[in-house]
Chain A
Amino acid sequence: EVQLQQSGPELVKPGASVKISCKASGYTFTDYNMHWVKQSHGKSLEWIGYIYPYNGGTAYNQKFKSKATLTVDNSSSTAYMELRSLTSEDSAVYYCARDGDGNYPYFDYWGQGTTLTVSS
């Protein structure tokens, strides 16, 4: 059974950085792209970017290019997203989602979401 288990809620101060994790199980981690999606409170979904664990290749939404960095640790089948220079605009729920087909991507399995609150 495919599962994506994300790290717990985070409360961080403005200007700081945070690293959210997404541990995958139930499939070969390096075979599938991993995407990250932002959902601000009460709003829709925004695609941040994806990483291909096999070679670490990435693609980002230009809007998040200076905000987010995607990495993986293949030894533990874990994907990470680091967010830097945090402001209140970064307060949101962040999801990781597996890409079921890299050529015609659809997000077939999602993590439970990690709530990030940026506040002093």
Chain B
Amino acid sequence: DIQMTQTTSSLSASLGDRVTISCSASQGNSNYLNWYQQKPDGTVKLLIYYTSSLHSGVPSRFSGSGSGTDYSLTISNLEPEDIATYYCQQYSKLPYTFGGGTKLEIK
């Protein structure tokens, strides 16, 4: 299985900050990488698919980048509603696998 690693399990930032969350894959996965947001109440939403494509309705302050084994999600101008846990997920090979998550908190 492809292992997805989010080395930062929690992150504290101030409102208005630019935040970058990283994710690495145990093998190259051809940019087949998605990002999800899970709110404290358990609600899960798709943010970014295919590395950098913004899902419909997602604010433009969210962006994704990367290639090969290293990917990142950037939130520019952090807002209170961005408090959540963020997960990367690969779909290059079955089984699809998720990173361990990065919990974002307000400083």
Contact = CB atoms under 8 A, between A and B. Distances in A.
Interface of A: 35, 44-47, 59, 61-63, 93, 95, 97, 100-101, 104-110, 112-113
A110 B87 CA distance: 14
B12 to A, nearest CB: 19
A61 B95 contact: yes
Nearest to A107: B46
A27 to B, nearest CB: 13
Interface residues of B, number: 22
B96 A104 contact: no
Main secondary structure of the interface of B (DSSP, over half): loop
A93 B98 contact: no
A63 B99 contact: no
Given A45-B87, A59-B94, A105-B91, A110 B45 contact: yes
Contacts of B36: 45, 107
A5 to B, nearest CB: 13
B31 to A, nearest CB: 10
B102 to A, nearest CB: 11
A109 B46 CA distance: 7
Nearest to B30: A104
Contacts of B97: 47
